[in-house]
Each structure stands twice: as C-alpha cells, then as structure tokens.
Amino acid sequence: MTRLIDSLSTTDALAELFSDHSMLQAMLTFEVALARVEARRKIIPKSAAEEIAKAARPDAMDVSSMVQETRLSATPGVPLVKALTQLVRTKNPVAAGYVHWGATSQDACDTALVLLLKRAQPILESDLLRLEKLLRRLADQHGQTVMPGRTLLQAAGPITFGLKVAGWLAAIHRGHIRLKASFQESLLLQLGGATGTLAALGKDGIQIGKDLAKELGLNYPEAPWHAHRDRLANLLCSCGVLAGSLGKMARDISLLMQAEVAEAAERTGPGRGGSSSMPHKANPAGCTQALAAINGVPGMVSAFLSAMVQEQERAVGGWQSEWPIVAGVIQRTGLAVAAMAEAAEGLTINPARMRANLDATRGVIFAEKATMLLAGKIGRDAARKLVEEAVRRSSDEQRRFRSILSEMPEVRKHLDAAALRNLESPQQYLGVADEFRKRLVDSTKDSKES
C-alpha cells in the first residue's frame, strides 16, 4: 500500500515492489538460489539447501529489529543473514552453518535490488507502450488541426496539434528505447565474495556464478561490479531523460488547459481535477502528478552520480546510499509514465478554440510570411521595415494585419489582392509540418503495441 506521504511520488504497484516485504523477499531469493546452486555443485549439503529454503520467509523476520541492526552494521545484508541463520538453526543447527556460503553482504543487497529492477521493468514498459499508442493515435487524428505555435510563450506562426503530439511521442519513444537498453545492461548478478575474487569458493566460483545467474534469470557479468556502478548510473540517467520528456508533455498540456487558452483538457470526473474551494475548476490532475513526481528525479540522479566515486574494492557509504535513490527514481518515473498515459487517454482537443486563438492575433503571426513575400521584391531590410510598421499599427488600432498592409502603397505595389487575401490562411503557411509529423510518428513504429 502506498503511504500518504508518497502518494504523488509512486504508483501502488511500484510502492509494493519496493516495500520492506518485497525487498526482504528479494534478498532471501538470492540466499535460497545460492544455496541450491551450491548444493547441486556439492559445495554444501543438499539437506542444508532445503532447510535454508524452508526458513527463508519474510514474515518470519522482525523488520524493526533488522532496521536497528542495519544502522549498527551499516548494511542490510548482515542482519538479513543473521536472521536467516537463526531461523535455520532452530530446525537444523548444522544447516545453519551453510547460510550465505562464500558470499558477502553486498552480493545479497545488490542482487536483490537487481531482482526488483527486473520486476519494475515490465510495469514501466506496459505504461510506456500504452502512452505511445495513445499519442500515435492523437498525432494521426490531428495532423491537419491547426493551432498557434508558441515561442517564448508568445504566439508565433501556425503549426498543427498533430505535429506537437508527434514531438512528444518521438521524445518519449527515444527515452523508452534508452530505458529498455539500460535495464537490460543492469540486470546482472552480483556475486564476488569478500573482495570480488570468490576466493572462498575456489575454482568453482565462476561456474557457481553462472549457475546462480541462470537460476535467478539474470545475466552473468565479466566480473563482480561491487565498486563499479556505471550500469546502474546509466539506468537512472535514462530515467532522468525520459522523465524530462514526460515533463515537457505535461507542461505543454497544462498550459493548453489554461482558461485563457482552452485548447485541450484532461478528462474530469468525481474527485479528479477538482478544487477544494472553487467548484468551477478542472485542474490538470495527470500533468500535476507527473510534474510533481519528476521534480525530484534530477536531484536523485545527481546524488547517484556523486555516489559513484567508490573506494577501492568496496565502498564506504557509496553503494549503501543507493537503495532509496534507485527506488525513488524508478517509482517517480513510473508514476509520471502512468499519469501521462491516463492524461492522454482522456485528453479532449478543441480545434475551434485553436482557430479562435489564431484569429485573436489579428493576423500578426503571419508577419514572417509577409516579410518573405516582400523580401523577394524589395529586399529583406525594406520588407522588414514595412512589416514592422504594419504590426505596430495593427496593435495600436486593433485592426487586422492584412487590412493595414492593404492600405500601404509600397505593399500594394508588390502584393496583389489574392496574395493579401490568402496571407492569413494558416493552412497555407504550415511548410512541411505534416511531413515532419509523419517522420516523427514513423520513427516510433518499431515498438510493440499491447
């Protein structure tokens, strides 16, 4: 269950995944698998492995005591091994001597974290595929829906909503591809023993490691990575970039939802997007969730990068700081993906308002077009001077831009009535917007759709 304090930084599924029970289970999964592999290799008795498997139950452990002991030992691995050994000892004192055989506490902790990451990947993957599918549909539906482009938050030349959505889609898709690759790179067993040589297991060390990786469904690295955190860092950086792209989409939609703009709106309903004091409001709930979640991601990624500078073969404080950082980044990224998928699914678009907002500029957003038409006749500098004067008069007199231009003799000399009449047609000043939209959408079609 998600704690109230974490409600805007995780989903229920990811909160459960990184819960105490889940973390304990992952560490115990490592210990049981290690014992089974070692028993098959006749390094420990088969009976010992069986007793270890029977005793390895999270609900049999006192989490509060383990928290206190973790602070004393500076690693969760020590109290975990102690608690498991005690549970085994109550049934078989001899078998208790084979718990955690040849491993070190960081092996259990790192592998447990990787096992949780393996479970987290399909959760994020499912929501990302859903979001991409929804955005692809929106981009295709609105390929010809014209709207004002906005640069520096000011009205600029026309674009299509389909192009805007395709931009969100392509950036999120690229982030998805990076994330998938970095997950794959990170799903590695950690088994190195005290100093990363597996000396306690002798010549069988590599084979045991390979067998253990296979047992756990993980990849086997070239060597233990106790003090080399680059793969995990790459995963978190990929989350950071993806979070930024999700935030871009959330920021754009929330701006389009402003009452003064009103070009798009998230789905509303009982309890969704409402205000405690203003019944008329329909707030951007999904965008707010996403932006709240990702606000903490850059700082967490930075903290992980700082912790990469780890001493010698095993670090003092570096890897020990990672659990909450990794869990926080994954959960926040996961919430942002889920929130934006929900927002996209219920997003309504108002093409009439988009056109009205174009018209509300009185046509001055076509100043670039007018300049380019005149520049070929009288030169760019002279054209710009005429157009700037027309823009100023349009603002001062609250009249349409083309009407002002049609009254200027220097303009009428070079632009006929048809050119002036069509000057403010947004469909005739979209350039290659639709080609760009199609290219962006096509670049995302290698993903599987659910």
Please tell me which residue in 137, 178, 272, 314 is annotated as part of the active site: 314
- Write out the two tokens for 307: 């912790």
CA atoms within 13 A on the CB side of 96: 12
What 3-state DSSP class applies to 147? strand
Catalytic site residue 272? no
Q: Are 29 and 353 in contact (CB under 8 A)?
A: no
- Residue 445 burial (CB count, 10 A): 10
β-pair partners for 188? 219
Catalytic site residue 19? no
d(CA 303, CA 9): 17
Q: Which amino acid belongs to residue 200?
A: A
Where residue 394 falls (left for φ over 0; alpha for ψ -120 to 50; beta otherwise) is alpha
- DSSP class per residue in 286-355: HHHHHHHHHTTHHHHHHHHHHHT---TTS-SSSGGGHHHHHHHHHHHHHHHHHHHHHHHHT-EE-HHHHH
Alpha carbon 171 to its chain's center: 11
Tokens 């420990």 sit on residue: 44
Across 254-280, b (16+ Cβ under 10 Å) vs e yields bebbeeebebbbbeeeeeebbeeeeee
Please tell me which residue in 47, 65, 275, 395 is annotated as part of the active site: 275
Q: Are 146 and 429 in contact (CB under 8 A)?
A: no
Opening angle at CA 301, ends 247 and 286, nearest 5: 25
d(CA 118, CA 124): 11
Residues annotated catalytic, as ranges: 275, 314
